[in-house]
């Protein structure tokens, strides 16, 4: 047996990480961790309590003055050691994500393990820069760390979402309490193994696993947390903003999306469709930035639908550890059921099924949903408006560029998007008109230094790059 391709061994964790130590939780309650490709329980973690959150926040508060006063190059050196310790665990991270989330191992290696390393590397460089100061008239304007950060993260990119908060918070001089998703807590433990090995000062980063309603709410509502940085659903984001509003704590929210992929009449259609389908199905469609609405000019619509159906037929479902697998399961039975309900609703609403659907063949076990494409989706219908968070693509025709922009912007979300055209200026003009935080023109590559975040109900604030570090700072004006 090829060990590198096997599930990892250590899947039960019994401790929290507080003040630099692995410590016992205050309660014996645990949360089971499931392998969604089989439905079997593979491990468990403690169910953190409000008392555990109190202890972790106190540790972060105690560590804050020292970390905030640490020189930027020393903070960068800590992050550099953390990068090395995490990189040494890349295989184990990929195998753990493949096990607790079901991401196919190849994709888990490239994205689930690779992306956080890229982001952490960028933060090492940013941490080394002294905080920007500038003079305005008689004022010296300085940036200071905001304080103790409560970080609450989802399951779809279990390490990336954590690193995208923890690394810039540390770079800015903040200390952190992390509550990872209860569906994928094991990957977060690997980060804390790396934190221990890297020798970060005690209390600078703390881990309390647990459920959203108990540990998550306790962290979001905690009077000693200065900023709550949350990634997850828009509904939970609203709840967290309400809890933080009670004490006027800062919030950063990275929420849902329903992003539009606009394919203009002169686009390189085979490429636009191939990349577009790949984007919509990435991680079984459980990607907040997924281009889940493909908008195609009427002149190319029939041709595009044929290409979409052919592309989707190439996505083989199966065991995440099988190299032939291109699509894994959904993260949980509940998530798979939500996606099936969206498919049923789209059929009831009269959308035309082009691929997949409720009767498509599936593996005999696990929370699988077939990649599914609907054509002629009405821009106001539930499928065009609601985030499905599964492998479901809506294809919508448009007559001209104004209509394409209107459909793209007909959404309460505004996280990502794409435009394809042989005329880059025309594509850029459409990109500028889209009310969304990120737009990729002709497949422009992901840039870890670019700001990431949403317009409208896709969130508040930005992550990544220097913008992501600024999110964890306050501005102070000193008059002389």
Catalytic residues: 254
Taking every pair of Cα atoms in the chain, the longest distance, rounded to a whole number of angstroms, is 72
Instruction: Give exposure, 22-56, as e/b (b: 16+ Cβ within 10 Å).
Output: ebebbeeebbebbbbbbeeebbbbbbbbbebbbbb
Tell the smallest beta-carbon distance from residue 415 to ligand NAD (Å).
Answer: 6
Provide the mask over 424-463, with x wherever binding to ligand NAD is found by CB under 6 A and - wherever it is not.
------------------------------x----x----
Q: Which of 175, 181, 229, 284 binds ligand NAD (CB under 6 A)?
A: 181
Of 228, 192, 226, 231, the residue nearest 209 (C-alpha): 192
Separation of alpha carbons 373 and 393, rounded Å: 5
Task: Report the residue number, 118 or 211, with the smaller CB distance to ligand NAD.
Answer: 211
For residue 13, the minimal CB distance to ligand NAD (Å) is 16
Q: How many residues at the interface with ligand NAD, by CB under 6 A? A: 31
Confirm or reject binding of residue 103 to ligand NAD (CB under 6 A).
no
- Look at strands 413-414 and 352-355 and give their pairing: unpaired
Identify the residue among 108, 240, 280, 392 touching ligand NAD (CB under 6 A).
Answer: 240
Region 383-412 residues binding ligand NAD, contact defined as CB under 6 A: 387, 389
Q: 199 in the Ramachandran plot: left (φ > 0), alpha (ψ -120 to 50) or beta? A: left
- Quick check: 185 binds ligand NAD (CB under 6 A)? no
DSSP state of 444: P
Question: 390, 288 in Cβ contact below 8 A?
Answer: no
Residue 472 touching ligand NAD (CB under 6 A): no
Of residues 204-223, those binding ligand NAD (CB under 6 A)? 211-213, 216-217, 220
Q: Which residues contact 152 (CB under 8 A, 6 or more apart)?
A: 179, 212, 216, 219, 220, 228, 229, 230, 231, 232, 240
**Of these, 44, 80, 182, 440, which contacts ligand NAD (CB under 6 A)?**
182
Site for ligand NAD (CB under 6 A): which residue of 30, 38, 233, 442? 233
Confirm or reject binding of residue 155 to ligand NAD (CB under 6 A). Answer: yes
Question: Does residue 232 belong to the site contacting ligand NAD (CB under 6 A)?
Answer: yes
Sheet arrangement for strand 227-231: 21-23, 16-18, 205-207, 175-179, 148-152, 227-231, 250-254, 459-460
- Check residue 354 for interaction with ligand NAD (CB under 6 A): no
State the CB neighbour count (10 A cutoff) for residue 87. Answer: 16
Per CB under 6 A, residues contacting ligand NAD are 152-156, 161, 179, 181-182, 211-213, 216-217, 220, 231-233, 236, 239-240, 254-257, 288, 387, 389, 415, 454, 459
């Amino acid at each position: 047996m090829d060990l590198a391709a096997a599930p990892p061994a250590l899947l039960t964790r019994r401790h929290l990480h507080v003040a630099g130590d692995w410590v016992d939780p205050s309660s014996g309650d645990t949360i089971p961790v499931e392998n969604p490709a089989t439905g079997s329980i593979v491990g468990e973690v403690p169910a953190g309590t409000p008392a555990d959150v109190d202890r972790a926040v106190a540790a972060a508060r105690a560590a804050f003055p020292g970390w905030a006063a640490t020189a930027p190059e020393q903070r960068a050196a800590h992050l550099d050691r953390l990068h090395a310790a995490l990189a040494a665990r890349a295989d184990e991270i990929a195998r753990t994500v493949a096990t607790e989330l079901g991401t196919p191992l190849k994709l888990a290696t490239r994205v689930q393990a690779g992306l956080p390393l890229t982001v952490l590397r960028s933060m090492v460089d940013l941490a080394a820069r002294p905080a920007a100061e500038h003079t305005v008239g008689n004022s010296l304007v300085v940036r200071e760390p905001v304080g103790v950060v409560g970080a609450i993260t989802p399951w779809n990119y279990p390490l990336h979402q954590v690193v995208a908060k923890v690394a810039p918070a540390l770079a800015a001089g903040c200390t952190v309490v992390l509550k990872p998703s209860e569906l994928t807590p094991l990957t977060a433990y690997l980060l804390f193994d790396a934190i221990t090995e890297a020798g970060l000062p005690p209390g600078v980063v703390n881990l309390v696993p647990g459920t959203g309603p108990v540990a998550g709410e306790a962290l979001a509502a905690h009077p000693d947390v200065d900023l709550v940085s949350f990634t997850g659903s828009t509904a939970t984001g609203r709840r967290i903003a309400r809890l933080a509003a009670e004490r006027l704590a800062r919030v950063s929210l990275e929420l849902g999306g329903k992003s539009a992929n606009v394919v203009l009449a002169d686009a390189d259609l085979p490429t636009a469709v191939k990349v577009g389908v790949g984007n919509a199905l990435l991680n079984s469609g459980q990607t907040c930035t997924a281009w889940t609405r493909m908008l195609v000019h009427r002149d190319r619509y029939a041709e595009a639908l044929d290409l979409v159906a052919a592309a989707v037929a190439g996505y083989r479902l199966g065991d995440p550890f099988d190299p032939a697998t291109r699509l894994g399961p959904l993260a949980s039975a509940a998530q798979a059921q939500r996606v099936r309900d969206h498919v049923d609703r789209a059929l009831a609403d009269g959308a035309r099924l082009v691929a997949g659907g409720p009767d498509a063949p599936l593996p005999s076990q696990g929370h699988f949903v077939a990649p599914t494409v609907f054509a002629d989706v009405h821009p106001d219908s539930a499928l065009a408006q609601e985030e499905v968070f599964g492998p479901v693509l809506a294809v919508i025709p448009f007559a001209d560029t104004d209509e394409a922009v209107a459909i793209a912007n007909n959404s309460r979300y505004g996280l990502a998007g794409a435009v394809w055209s042989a005329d880059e200026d025309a594509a850029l003009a459409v990109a500028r008109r889209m009310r969304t935080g990120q737009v990729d023109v002709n497949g422009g590559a992901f840039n870890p230094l670019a700001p990431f975040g949403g317009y409208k109900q896709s969130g508040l604030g930005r992550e990544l790059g220097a913008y992501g570090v600024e999110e964890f700072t306050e501005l102070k004006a000193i008059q002389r």
